[in-house]
Amino acid sequence: MELYFMGTNAGVPSLERNVTSLALRLFDERRSFWLFDCGEGTQHQILRSPLKLSKLEKIFISHLHGDHLFGLPGLISSRAYQGGNTPLTIYGPTGLKQYIKTSLNISESRIDYQLDIVEHVGGHLFEDETFRVESALLDHRIASYGYRIVEKDLPGKLDSVLLSSHGIKPGPLYGKLKRGESVEAPDGVIIKPEEVLGSPKQGRIVTILGDTRPCPAAISLSEGADAMVHESTFLDELAQTAYDYHHSTAKQAAEAAEAAGAKQLYLTHFSSRYKSEDQLQQLLVEARQVFANSELAREHILYPVNRADGEE
């Protein structure tokens, strides 16, 4: 599981950075990736990335401001031409379906795959045997949501030496044991899962927040997160400006991460006024004064989401 940023600028693109888009790469877990927000130019950014649109499974839109969704119609239309024929589900606030349908209808775009659009007002959005996704309303000028992605715990490692002593080799019987089923070994011994399975691996938690002022929902969504992505539009000297425009400072993002007990914070959504590396470093310095495990999100870099034991 890795984070891959394709847009870290706020409002409009700049020569240095594109507008908001972030991929959660789940190649090992699902052989796919999920996209969070889709600012203008996102499909161009994907072409420069290790991602393939044919592997895109879900899109989560935080809110309906243009810098977070103007790239959506083009990306949806292009996906089929790049081998994307599997179903695609898009989640987002009320109004998202009208925006997508209107854009595709007026442009007479043909979608040759199953496209499902799920409008929501927060809560439990998705769950299967590997992941659960929850959402909550943040504090922004329009309805803006954060997303909490929870990986289910993984079965512990099998004791291959003990299993081999009973004549059990890697194969179907391994799968049954990992699913919690007892099996009969070739020597006639009944092997129970608890006898050969180590402790489960704790699932990881990733929180990706839309535009927001500091608010309780940002903290609750990020509780115990292994990776937390929080907008950091301004330096703290512009805290009043951030409040007026319903945004956050780097210091406020760090305060949220500290309050939530997050393990790693990624700062993103930088104002265009911060063009130089020195200016960006000021944002990082402010954040690290509050929360040491803060990083500036850089575009086109893979950031592994590590487990508590340090494994990816």
Mark whether 153 is an active-site residue. no
Q: How many CB atoms lie within 10 A of CB 287?
A: 28
Walk me through the domains of the chain, giving residue ranges and CATH numbers.
2-154+201-304 (3.60.15.10), 160-196 (no CATH)
The answer, yes or no, to whether residue 311 has pLDDT greater than 70, is no
158-174 pLDDT, tens per residue? 888 888 888 888 888 88
236-289 pLDDT, tens per residue? 999 999 999 999 999 999 999 999 999 999 999 999 999 999 999 999 999 999
- 277 contacts: CB under 8 Å, gap ≥ 6: none
31-80 pLDDT, tens per residue? 999 999 999 999 999 999 999 999 999 999 999 999 999 999 999 999 98
175-228 pLDDT, tens per residue? 888 878 898 888 888 988 888 888 788 899 999 999 999 999 999 999 999 999
Threshold 0.75, pTM exceeds: yes
Model pLDDT, residue 172: 87
CA distances for 78 relative to 22, 25, 42, 66, angstroms:
18, 20, 11, 19
The answer to whether the annotation marks 269 as part of a ligand binding site is yes
The answer to whether the annotation marks 120 as part of a ligand binding site is no
Model pLDDT, residue 310: 58
Q: Which structure tokens are listed for 308?
A: 């508590």
- 65 contacts: CB under 8 Å, gap ≥ 6: 142, 211
The answer to whether the annotation marks 153 as part of a ligand binding site is no
Q: Which long-range contacts (CB under 8 A, 24 or more apart) does 249-255 make?
A: 249/286, 250/283, 250/284, 250/286, 250/287, 250/294, 251/286, 251/287, 251/289, 251/290, 252/214, 253/287, 253/294, 254/286, 254/287, 254/288, 254/289, 254/290, 254/291, 254/294, 255/214, 255/290, 255/291
Model pLDDT, residue 312: 58
The answer to whether the annotation marks 67 as part of a ligand binding site is yes
Model pLDDT, residue 309: 62
94-114 pLDDT, tens per residue? 999 999 999 999 999 989 999
Helix orientation angle between 250-260 and 277-290, rounded to the nearest 10 degrees: 30
The answer to whether the annotation marks 44 as part of a ligand binding site is no
CA 249/CA 74 separation, integer angstroms? 32
Q: List the catalytic residue out of 67, 159, 187, 278.
A: 67
285's enclosing H/E stretch is: helix 277-290
Q: How many CB atoms lie within 10 A of CB 171?
A: 8
Model pLDDT, residue 308: 72
